[in-house]
């Protein structure tokens, strides 16, 4: 009968070659760390653990008896002290003896005065491969890496079996190799040997993002995991050509496969091909389009609390009309609100939520009013009085009624029953993109709030146009509100931009910082030095990470996922590439 030990045992073991151990077609070769720098200011094994070489590492600590340690140190200090005082100062080893003398005094002080403990440290590395040549390359690579970090190693020739047994989970620190690797370390310095510092993200229900650049581990992120992340929001920053748009498209593609509802605002016409390949709806919005969105629509899904349709709508319209009229003083804001109320009243819509419903004779039920029952911009235009304030509003509204922006003066005629909707606002031009972005942001925000029990996402490409210096506080506050509250509706807001400095240009960067802080996942692709300096004022980026962001290659990203900072390489299959590019 076979017991558990027999089932776990290998088929064969060969130790004929002193340089490696062969077990079931795999080759194992050991290294022993025999010396270290005297002082370290970082995790000792950080670069070793982050490498992508297959290996097992064992670290053993043996606590020493404090009384015996102090006794031995005192004896050593006395003997060496005499030699230093009476010995020949021209001896070559005098400096080494002096270092040992001072180190011994320091260790004794830490144990006696600061109640520290002394430990013996043993570190073994067992490198494995299914190919002898690759095994040799990896051994040389690890030795070079360790030497660059002040760690001196020794090959475990003729001791491969002992190294193997010491690096499997049997807690076996073999006596044949202990004396070679033994080095002392104080208890308060043990933190520098902490081995669990590799940032790996592998969420159970996550989607594949790419691989960790340092160790090739897979990165799978479930941004809707409420137990792990405070929200599902994301920020994607990167210069043109760095890979941020490709990464965003990859996210859209993979979440589409999972059946999630997604809404994208596309100012640069980058998502059209993806939309076609995924059978989504692309709404081309502009002067030559026959697709219209009525900004004055009140939708049944727009309510955020239990009541207050018109109140909620007027609050949102403040943001849109602030883009049209510019910054308004309190008096003109009040006058505009009065005109809006009159305009809705003409359509029998008031602050009573029941006024938003009508009786349907076909079904004998009350239904929510349609877009054709709502006012449009020209209704507001003709409601304006012929006075100073009315003339001011009329002049500003004229392009929307009879000019280049009259496509905004129509009833809504688009179908929104698809789980992938892309708003193509490329035709609006540089000066008018902000209007299209706001119109669709409000529309998609209402879609987000429709059902709290399903996950959905809104992607705001070139978001700086809505919260940067070209915008205003009403619009920026609306966008900030989305990032702050979308979690309770089961949603995710994604901010995408290449103009980081513009993102933080409004109100001393208050809104950009708020959106950054309300995003649990941040992806920084390659950025120019100027943008990195701006970003470092609002994000917790180390000096090393600043250098990494600047030197990232196309398709590489520094990702902040919760509390983890990971250098990631975005990966995709050939089929995904064909659908995206």
Task: State the pLDDT at residue 558.
Answer: 95
Is the separation of the CB atoms in 222 and 455 below 8 Å? no
In 3D space, the residue among 209, 149, 163, 182 whose CA is nearest the CA of residue 56 turns out to be 163
* Residue 389: per-residue pLDDT: 83
What are the structure tokens assigned to 514, written together? 């708020």
Residue with tokens 């009065």: 338
Using one digit for the tens of pLDDT, what is the confidence trace for 443-490?
Answer: 999 999 888 889 999 999 999 999 988 888 889 999 999 999 999 999
Per-residue pLDDT of 269-292, as tens digits, reads 999 999 999 999 999 999 998 999
More confident residue, 304 or 513: 513
Worst-scoring range by mean pLDDT, 35-44, 259-268, 274-283? 35-44
Judge whether 231-291+414-581 and 293-412 match in fold: no
Q: Dihedral, CA atoms, 112, 116, 119, 121, nearest 10 degrees?
A: -130
Angle at 182 between CA 180 and CA 185, to 5 degrees: 155
pLDDT top residue among 197 and 342: 342
Q: What's the mean pLDDT in 97-107?
A: 84
The architecture in CATH of the region 231-291+414-581 reads 3-Layer(aba) Sandwich (3.40)
Mean pLDDT, rounded, for 334-352: 94
CATH number assigned to the domain covering 293-412 = 1.10.8.730
Calculate what percentage of the chain has a pLDDT beyond 70. 97
pLDDT above 80 for 83: no
Query: Tokens standing for 535?
Result: 């970003």
Burial class of residue 275 (count of CB atoms within 10 Å of its CB; 0-12, 13-18, 19+) = buried
As to burial, measured by CB atoms within 10 angstroms (0-12 exposed, 13-18 middle, 19+ buried), residue 379 is: middle
- Closest by CA to 377, choosing from 348, 399, 349, is 399
Residue 173 pLDDT exceeds 90: yes
Residue 570 has pLDDT above 90, yes or no: yes
**Cα–Cα distance, 245 to 494 (Å, whole number):** 12
Q: Flag whether pLDDT at 65 surpasses 80.
A: yes
Distance between start and end Cα atoms, the chain: 59
DSSP class of residue 170 equals: T
Distance between CA atoms of 431 and 428, rounded to whole angstroms? Answer: 8
pLDDT the model gives residue 304? 67
pLDDT at 252 over 90: yes
- 89 has a pLDDT exceeding 60: no
Q: Classify residue 145 as exposed, middle or buried by CB count within 10 Å of its CB (0-12, 13-18, 19+).
A: middle
For position 251, what pLDDT does the model report?
96
For 113-143, how does the pLDDT look when each residue is reduced to its tens digit (9 = 90+)?
999 999 999 999 999 999 999 999 999 999 9
Average pLDDT value for residue range 395-421: 92
The confidence score (pLDDT) of residue 211 equals: 92
Res 302: pLDDT: 79
Confidence of residue 5 (pLDDT cuts 50, 70, 90): confident
Domain locations in the chain as residue ranges: 4-64+117-193, 231-291+414-581, 293-412
Q: Considering the entire predicted model, what is its pTM? A: 0.76
**Residue 213 in this model has a pLDDT that exceeds 90:** no
CB 416, CB 455: distance < 8 Å: no
Q: Which helix (H) or strand (E) holds 568?
A: strand 564-570
What's the pLDDT score for residue 490?
A: 93
Q: Residue 389 has which token pair?
A: 């304030």
Q: For position 280, what pLDDT does the model report?
A: 94
Taking residue 148's Cβ as centre, other Cβ atoms within 10 Å add up to: 9
Query: Residue 198: pLDDT band by 50, 70, 90 thresholds?
Result: low
């Amino acid at each position: 009968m076979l017991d558990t030990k027999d089932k776990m045992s290998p088929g064969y073991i060969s130790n004929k070659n002193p340089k490696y151990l062969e077990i079931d077609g795999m080759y194992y070769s050991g290294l022993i760390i025999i010396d270290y720098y005297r002082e370290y200011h970082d995790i000792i094994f950080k670069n070793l653990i982050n490498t992508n070489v297959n290996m097992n590492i064992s670290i053993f600590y043996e606590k020493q008896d404090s009384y015996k340690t102090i006794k031995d140190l005192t004896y050593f200090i006395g003997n060496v002290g005499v030699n230093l005082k009476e010995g020949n100062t021209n001896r070559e080893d005098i400096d080494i003896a002096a270092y040992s003398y001072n180190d011994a005094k320091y260790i004794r002080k830490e144990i006696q005065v600061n109640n520290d403990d002394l430990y013996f440290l043993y570190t073994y590395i067992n490198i494995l491969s299914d190919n002898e040549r690759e095994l040799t390359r990896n051994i040389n690579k690890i030795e070079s890496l360790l030497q660059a970090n002040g760690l001196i190693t020794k090959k475990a020739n003729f001791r491969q079996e002992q190294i193997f047994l010491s690096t499997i989970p049997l807690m076996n620190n073999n006596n044949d190799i202990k004396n070679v690797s033994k080095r002392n370390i104080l208890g308060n310095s043990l933190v520098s040997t902490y081995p669990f510092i590799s940032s790996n993200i592998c969420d159970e229900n996550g989607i594949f993002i790419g691989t960790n650049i340092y160790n090739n581990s897979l990165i799978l992120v479930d941004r809707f995991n409420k137990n792990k992340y405070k929200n599902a929001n994301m920020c994607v920053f990167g210069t043109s050509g760095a890979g941020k748009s490709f990464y965003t498209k990859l996210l859209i593609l993979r979440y589409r496969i999972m059946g999630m509802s997604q809404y994208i605002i596309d100012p640069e016409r980058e998502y059209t091909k993806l939309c076609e390949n995924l059978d989504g709806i692309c709404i081309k919005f502009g002067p030559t389009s026959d697709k219209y969105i009525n900004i004055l629509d009140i939708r049944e899904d727009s309510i955020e609390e239990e009541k207050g349709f018109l109140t909620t709508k007027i609050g949102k319209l403040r943001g849109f009309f602030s883009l049209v009229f510019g910054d308004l003083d309190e008096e003109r804001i009040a006058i505009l609100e009065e005109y809006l109320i009159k305009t809705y009243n003409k359509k029998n819509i008031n602050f009573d939520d029941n006024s938003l419903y009508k009786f349907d004779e076909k079904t004998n039920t009350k239904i929510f009013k349609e877009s054709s029952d709502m006012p449009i911009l020209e209704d507001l235009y003709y409601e304006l009085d012929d006075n100073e304030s009315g003339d001011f509003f009329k002049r500003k509204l004229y392009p929307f009624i009879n000019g280049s922006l009259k496509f905004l003066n129509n009833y809504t005629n688009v179908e929104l029953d698809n789980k992938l909707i892309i708003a193509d606002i490329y035709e609006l031009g540089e000066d008018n993109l902000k209007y299209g972005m706001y119109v669709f942001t409000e529309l998609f925000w209402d879609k987000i709030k429709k059902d709290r029990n399903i996950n959905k996402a809104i992607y705001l490409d070139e978001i700086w146009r809505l919260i940067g210096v070209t915008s205003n506080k009403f619009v920026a506050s609306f966008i900030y509100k989305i990032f702050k509250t979308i979690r309770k509706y089961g949603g995710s807001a994604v901010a995408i931009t290449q103009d980081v400095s513009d993102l933080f240009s409004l109100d001393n960067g208050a809104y950009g910082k708020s959106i950054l802080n309300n995003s649990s996942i941040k992806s920084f692709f390659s950025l120019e030095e100027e943008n990195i300096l701006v970003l470092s004022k609002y994000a917790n980026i180390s000096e090393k990470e600043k250098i990494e962001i600047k030197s990232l290659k196309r398709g590489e990203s520094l990702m902040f996922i919760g509390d983890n900072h990971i250098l990631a390489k975005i990966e995709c299959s050939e089929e995904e590439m064909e659908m995206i590019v």
